[in-house]
Amino acid sequence: MSVKRLSLLFFTGALATGCSLSDTQDNNWASPTAWFSDSESGDSETNPLETEQVTVATGDEDLKQSVESGNGEDATADAALDDAIAPELRPTAREAREKLDDPEQKIVKEAAQPSDLWSRLRTGFALNHDVDNKRVQDQLNWYASHPGYIDRVVERGSRYLHYIINETEKRGLPAEFALLPVVESAFDPFAYSHGRAAGLWQFIPSTGKYFGLTQSWWHDDRRDVVEATDAALTYLDKLANRFDGDYTLALAAYNSGGGTVSSAMRKNRKKNEPQDFWSLDLPRETRHYVPKLIALAKIFDKPEDYGIELPALEDKPYFEIVDTGSQMDLAQAAELARVDVDEIYLLNPTYNRWATNPDGPHRLLVPTENADTFRAALAEIPRSERVSWRNYKVQSGDSLNTIARKFSTTPAVIQQVNKLNSDLIRVGQRLMIPSASKGSDTYALSASQRLERKQDRERDGNKVRYTVRRGDTFWDIAREHRVSVRQVAAWNGMAPGDPLIPGKELVIWSKTSQPTVVASNNARGKAMVRKVGYRVRKGDSLSTIANRFSVNVRDIASWNDLNTSRYLQPGQSLVLYVDIRNSP
């Protein structure tokens, strides 16, 4: 380790003694037994440095499975993103990628030996790559035997790596952290896990909120390349300070919460055992989390040792941040910048709809080589013309909600644009409605289009379209159709902990003999199912908890991403969905 880096660690360690965050706890888990709530969100203002909640990432394992189940490399190279592009659109997507990779459209100076981003990455490596541990070797063997996987994540990450490496250097953090999105999301900016984690860095809603990552109908900052990267590295830096500069413990805490790591350290301290990451008894996912990152760093450090060839990446910014000054139609932005609209979405995955957030911030990430073109064209377009408008005459039966749904906007936006003091409207009234300038297929990577493709994919079972009713839970719906809670959520681009809004339409691949018949007056209609937080007590097992709350062991495991062969730990927090009439 260099003297400069060693000095930095002493400096940050000294700061940590006077700059730690408050030791707040999540009140939802204060009870030693259980709490009941009508809310399905489960979000709180918990200090993530103290939490004991494992954040289940998505992309890495999902992509690994797709690579292993594919028929050769071609099976995994058809799409730039898992589930992001419909089969009928893949030829168009391939053409777009070929254009992006066309040597005639990129300045390649092989003879001049351009500065290489990989060399810069390696220069900043600071973790111990020589650790002798079977967990690291197992991960290394897998990555080394699947070069197609490395190709996929590099292809995805090439848009973001330069920016992330820059940000790690600014903070004096190990450059290995720039590879963490591989473990978290496989560099899929739209990744969403069954644990409700989203984006490159896989923030859950509560942690995202703690670090200022807001969400609305229009956007989700957890997927914002700039905002989420800043939040993730800030979080990691605070965790490193908390654990006296031990980056392996900081990484473990990023995955499972600072409280989990501290608890494991206390147990080892009481037994006079080592308190380093490799000696701690941590959740299964966390035990493999750090080894994955170290194995990847070894691959990227010396790819030739593992028979892997990394594509050349120049050490220059892929994108620039352009101030738009107002809301912007993303299709129009693509035309002004002379890029594919999918490229705009890939650089700005925070946006759920056809336009940027009307409330700002008013900016777009645009490929560097197109940024000046975009700025010049944007200057010629008045702000009032940066979204399309419909002059709509209010009809009998209309409400701001129905009109907003019809034009893919929100009641609040309609109120704001038309200077309405309330949500009351009258028949014959004229309203100006912001609307998309192109057809829905143009915005192929918007949230609604991604969901539509996911719901339309053929699966085993009988396809049922189910409209959510008041009081419904994933557990009830899954049980009626003899499928798992996680399946119902995944088929609909959701997580089991997401709220079910009455009126929302779900697609279910039912295993029942009469899938189109849904009883309205059955026991479920009379059930009082609530979300329950339960803290494990000494002597508890999955079966005893299941019996106590009249639920199924398999459901408890699914709700909490548990390995049924692993023992529960006293103090461990679980989420249950129970009929409170049958609960203790």
The residues carrying an active-site annotation are: 184
CA distance 173 to 208: 21
CA distance 532 to 539: 20
Residue with the two structure tokens 């493999």: 288
Residue 184: half-sphere exposure toward Cβ, Cα within 13 Å = 33
State whether residue 393 is helix, strand or coil: strand
Residue 209: half-sphere exposure toward Cβ, Cα within 13 Å = 12
Q: Residue 245 carries which side chain, given as an amino acid letter?
A: G
| Per-residue exposure over 531-542, b if at least 16 CB sit within 10 Å of its own CB, e if not | bbbbbbeeebeb
Residues 6+ apart with CB under 8 A from 266: none
Assess whether the previous peptide bond of 584 is cis (omega < 30° from 0): no
DSSP class per residue in 496-509: TTSPPPTT-EEEEE
State whether residue 104 is helix, strand or coil: helix
Residues 6+ apart with CB under 8 A from 130: none
CA distance 412 to 420: 9
Residue whose C-alpha is closest to residue 473's, from 525, 511, 513: 525
